[in-house]
Amino acid sequence: MAEQLPALILLAPLFGALLVGLAGPRDRRVCFPVVLGALAVSLCSAVGVLVRVLAGGPVDYFVGGWSEPLGIGIQLRVDTLNGLVLVVIAVVFVLVGVFSIRRAGEENTEKSPQYYTLFLLLAVGVFGMTVTGDAFNLYVLVEVSSLTGYALIAMGSSPRGTVAAFNYVVMGTIGASFYLLGVGYLYMATGALNMAQIHEIVATTGAGGSRTVLVAFILILAGLWTKMAFFPLHGWLPNAYGYCPSTSSSVLAPLVTKVYIYVMIRVMLGVFGAEWIFEHVGWTNIVVWLATVAILAGSLLALAQTEVRKMLCYLIVAEVGYMVGGAWLANRWGMAGAVYHIVADALMTLCLFLAVNIIVKRTGRLRMDAFDGLFRKMPLTMAGFAVGALAMIGIPPTAGFFSKWYLLRGGIESGHFEYVAALLLSSLVNAVLFFRLFERAFFGGNPAGGHHPDRTAAESGPTQQGWVGDSTLLGGEARASTLGPLLAAAALVVAVGLLNGPIVSAILRYFENMPVLGAP
């Protein structure tokens, strides 16, 4: 049984999706337990695999039993890095699954079974991308997750969301096609599709010096950068995530870009090899500069937004810059910081999106004024939001602080001070952004002169403008099914922060046999 775990991670949601697809239209009540059950199985399997990996090294799984000779079948491979990423993905899916209990039904009244099927299939795609060890299989799973993503964004969203979904389809297809071309070039030069095999050929034979492999690398990188919304290629992201249904954005925003970053790291280390990239090609400076520009541009664009959800979307663009830059610093702290930041950022983005989606739903407003006086009206929601925001800014003991710490250390040790400066500046911008919201939430929206300390929440709360009337809908906290995941995500942000020591040392152990990343 333990041997089947790597496959079980993605097969559970797949069969869950089929079950929902078959039984859901007949009886809606089936959907939710199946979704949660399937995701729980995934989570347990992911944790199980990670435990096995930490105890006994990487776990391989050969689909179809084609293990000898290597490369004829498709290999799944779980090591420390993707074991960690798998667990985080599973956690995010479970939390968003709980969040969507009633939400999905409200947003897609007719189509909630289809929504849940697509939701589970998105999980399949994302898990599959993380776990696969085959370059072409990665393409297929990229398409599984992309197509579900297009559908989740386009279904039941506003006209603007539909237009954004179309742009996403076009950009996403360009990205995936570039990746596919890159794999073709690699296949042409090496005759292999298995990642480990390609790595060996690139590292040991003359193929590594050929123009074909170089162009393959550029194509794959360009494709993945498009998919992860790395700055000049980010155009599709803000509108797509900003205008789609809240349950969709809650799962897409925290996960999709991060998974592509993991894929980029996997391709860098597992397909081309750190030595080939940092010594043979050696574009570290260019890419770190690109990342610096991405961080600054993302932060500044976020500052210019008036709608909260779009502001968060631009922050994602900045965060992508953090991680790409960290991975390209060519030292182990930067790389470890990037991987740790994948974990941290997934959780804090989840936190922020859940909170903002609750708030937007409750207040019916997309702009900053939705936050007016919220600390009194929805203290728990705002507490969750605050934890996510503090993590974004980088205040201890949240995970955001430690990930920035490792990234900064990597930047300083490798002498990329432009990257360090950009990181600090972007933290400052985040602080400005979020404290603007906090200010509104504390003092705003009170027509009678704001912050009188003697006015208690009980007095002023329900009498605010727009809050009078239907108190069951508007007044007070959100319901438990949406609040629970938010608070759990907030707790995890802090927990991951406190556990940064063991997590990062496990990640660093992974880089031990890569001398090019610096001696331990």
Minimal CA–CA distance to 104: which of 58, 55, 155, 62?
155
Does the footprint of another protein cover residue 433 (CB under 8 A)? no
- Considering only 27, 56, 211, 472, the residue that binds another protein (CB under 8 A) is 211
- Considering only 40, 51, 54, 174, the residue that binds another protein (CB under 8 A) is 174
Nearer to another protein among residue 108 and residue 460 (C-beta): 108
Tell me the closest approach of the beta carbon of residue 464 to another protein, in angstroms.
23
Of 19-27, 253-261, 454-462, 474-482: span binding another protein (CB under 8 A):
19-27
- Considering only 184, 476, 484, 518, the residue that binds another protein (CB under 8 A) is 184
Kindly identify the residues of this chain, within the stretch 101-120, that bind another protein according to CB under 8 A. Answer: 108, 110-111, 114-115, 117-118
DSSP 313-368: HHHHHHHHHHHHHHHTS-SHHHHHHHHHHHHHHHHHHHHHHHHHHHHHHHH---BG
Tell me the closest approach of the beta carbon of residue 444 to another protein, in angstroms.
22
- Considering only 85, 121, 229, 294, the residue that binds another protein (CB under 8 A) is 121
Tell me the closest approach of the beta carbon of residue 494 to another protein, in angstroms.
36
| Residue 367: both structure tokens together | 């702009």
Q: Which helix (DSSP H) or strand (DSSP E) does residue 472 occupy?
A: helix 471-474
Rounded-to-integer distance, Cα 103 and Cα 111, Å: 12
Bridge partners (DSSP) listed for residue 74: 63
Question: Are 86 and 141 spatial neighbours (Cβ–Cβ below 8 Å)?
Answer: no
* Region at 291 (left for phi over 0; alpha for psi -120 to 50; beta for the rest): alpha
Kindly identify the residues of this chain, within the stretch 462-491, that bind another protein according to CB under 8 A. Answer: none
Kindly identify the residues of this chain, within the stretch 215-244, that bind another protein according to CB under 8 A. Answer: 215-216, 218-219
Question: With CB under 8 A, what is the number of residues at the site for another protein?
Answer: 80
- Considering only 90, 144, 244, 339, the residue that binds another protein (CB under 8 A) is 144
- Considering only 192, 237, 256, 399, the residue that binds another protein (CB under 8 A) is 192
Does the footprint of another protein cover residue 419 (CB under 8 A)? no
Kindly identify the residues of this chain, within the stretch 40-69, that bind another protein according to CB under 8 A. Answer: 61-66, 69
Rounded-to-integer distance, Cα 316 and Cα 312, Å: 6
Rounded-to-integer distance, Cα 202 and Cα 183, Å: 13
In sequence order, the 6+-apart residues with CB closer than 8 A to the CB of 242 are 164, 249, 307, 309, 310, 313
Nearer to another protein among residue 65 and residue 501 (C-beta): 65
Rounded-to-integer distance, Cα 393 and Cα 370, Å: 21
Kindly identify the residues of this chain, within the stretch 361-380, that bind another protein according to CB under 8 A. Answer: none
Does the footprint of another protein cover residue 181 (CB under 8 A)? yes
Of 9-17, 287-295, 412-420, 484-492: span binding another protein (CB under 8 A):
9-17
Of 12-20, 35-43, 396-404, 485-493: span binding another protein (CB under 8 A):
12-20
Question: Are 145 and 122 spatial neighbours (Cβ–Cβ below 8 Å)?
Answer: yes
Rounded-to-integer distance, Cα 383 and Cα 513, Å: 43
